[in-house]
Amino acid sequence: MDTIPDGGRLEQDFGVDSLALAELLTDPEGRLSIVIQDEVTGRPHTIADLRALLARLVPSGTDTA
């Protein structure tokens, strides 16, 4: 099984443009009942940034599966 490296760059390595990033962030909002505000979070550039963002926003003990 391949893993996605934390240092993977969303735009350069995975081709995630601004529209794809918006879609990528909308899914967890619906699934986890959170709000991801651009002004507060900034734009994640790497997989590690995205994981850290979600870790800050998801309440402790929430099932993310």
The pLDDT assigned to 54 comes to 80
Q: Which residue has the tokens 């995630």?
A: 16
List own/partner pairs for 56-59 with CB under 8 A and 24 or more apart.
Answer: 57/32, 58/28, 58/32, 58/34
Q: How far apart are CA 21 and CA 45, in angstroms?
A: 10
Q: Is the pLDDT assigned to residue 61 strictly greater than 60?
A: no
Q: How many CB atoms lie within 10 A of CB 56?
A: 11
Give, as one character, the DSSP assignment of residue 59.
P
Instruction: Please write the tens of the pLDDT for every residue from 6-60.
Output: 999 999 999 999 899 888 888 888 887 777 777 666 788 999 998 888 888 776 6
